Structure 1
């Protein structure tokens, strides 16, 4: 298992500091992992567009879709590329801006008490073996540091607004490795 550096920074991963974060509310414990997907441009993998997006340096002229999203200020704690490379953008002790308007088990503002993990992918394209392996490392490391009790998709905390990680995500993988964690009801939780 990867060790933690000072604060909520994971050792042995690439760090790119996003300005898109804030303080967690006093007393908010990190108890939820929210799984997302992202690809920029949509359904295209590779390049540094996601990192640029999370640090507010996405060139709106580089692709028509970028013009639609360039002004948004979003981030995630972790981004897992198709090859399994991990990039950390926000200290896990801080509140990343990944879930937006969200609710989990009648508790609002998931950003306050969750860690966001973005998988490089799209809703209907299979994720890679390397990504699942790294996801296992990340969740194990998070459980070692925080009282994680649940894993949900962005689609579960923001239903009707978000669809990721999509039907291609293997929720059986989560159930197999962490049977005690709460999952959304429709995926076996």
Structure 2
């Protein structure tokens, strides 16, 4: 499912310029679950992809004026219908976690993979998203053996003073139980 270059074979590929190499000798060992909707609370459309590839037009929505200059990315977006869009190779460092810390290690982007779910903290995610997330997670765990169930967190877990995602609408027990074999 993941090729030699760190790309999902069944994802739409939309390369982002917002990435760099991981520090040499740093294994991929953490999976971070995020959420995003653009405009906030709205689903569908091209805006999330535009945002991660630096093509968001600030004139298309007042909120976009506040974020259009940001240079951020995630490795993968899972849309409401379960469709996968990959922006950065899993082998590279996407810019998704920001100021973050996990088990005493800062700058989680160095060792983490970031997956964005199209959603909000308080609107339930779709079953298609959970199915896609489970399949991707299992593939990541196989490809990067340092990632295990104990090393899957929400953005809120690594940046609790800044972030709340994936929020209370994310069904952690449902998701984690789908990973048990």
Shorter chain as denominator, the TM-score bin is over 0.9
Gaps of 5+ in 2: none
Deviation track 1:71-116 (CA, whole Å, cap 9, x = no partner) reads 0000000000000000000000000000000001111111000100
Query: What residue in structure 1 maps to residue 79 of structure 2?
Result: 81
Deviation track 1:143-171 (CA, whole Å, cap 9, x = no partner) reads 11102031100111101201110000011
Gaps of 5+ in 1: 181-189
Is 2:159 the counterpart of 1:158?
Answer: yes
Query: What residue in structure 1 maps to residue 113 of structure 2?
Result: 115
TM-score (norm 1): 0.91
Is 2:138 the counterpart of 1:137?
Answer: no
TM-score (norm 2): 0.95
What stretches of structure 1 move > 6 A for 4+ residues in a row?
none
Query: What residue in structure 1 maps to residue 50 of structure 2?
Result: 52
Deviation track 1:42-76 (CA, whole Å, cap 9, x = no partner) reads 00000000000000010011101000000000000
Q: Give the whole-Å Cα distance in 2 for the aligned partners of 1:93 and 1:49.
A: 25
Alpha-carbon shift at residue 6 of structure 1 (Å) = 2.9
Equivalent residues in 2 for 1:64-103, closer than 5 Å:
64-103=62-101
Q: Give the whole-Å Cα distance in 2 for the aligned partners of 1:13 and 1:57.
A: 20
Q: Give the whole-Å Cα distance in 2 for the aligned partners of 1:81 and 1:174.
A: 16
Alpha-carbon shift at residue 177 of structure 1 (Å) = 3.1
Q: Give the whole-Å Cα distance in 1 for the aligned partners of 2:83 and 2:179.
A: 22
Q: Give the whole-Å Cα distance in 2 for the aligned partners of 1:178 and 1:127.
A: 17
Alpha-carbon shift at residue 5 of structure 1 (Å) = 2.1
- Larger displacement relative to structure 2 (143-152 or 35-44): 143-152
Query: What residue in structure 1 maps to residue 147 of structure 2?
Result: 148
Aligned to 2:60, what secondary structure does the other structure show?
coil
Alpha-carbon shift at residue 27 of structure 1 (Å) = 1.0
Query: What residue in structure 1 maps to residue 172 of structure 2?
Result: 171
RMSD in angstroms over aligned alpha carbons?
A: 1.2
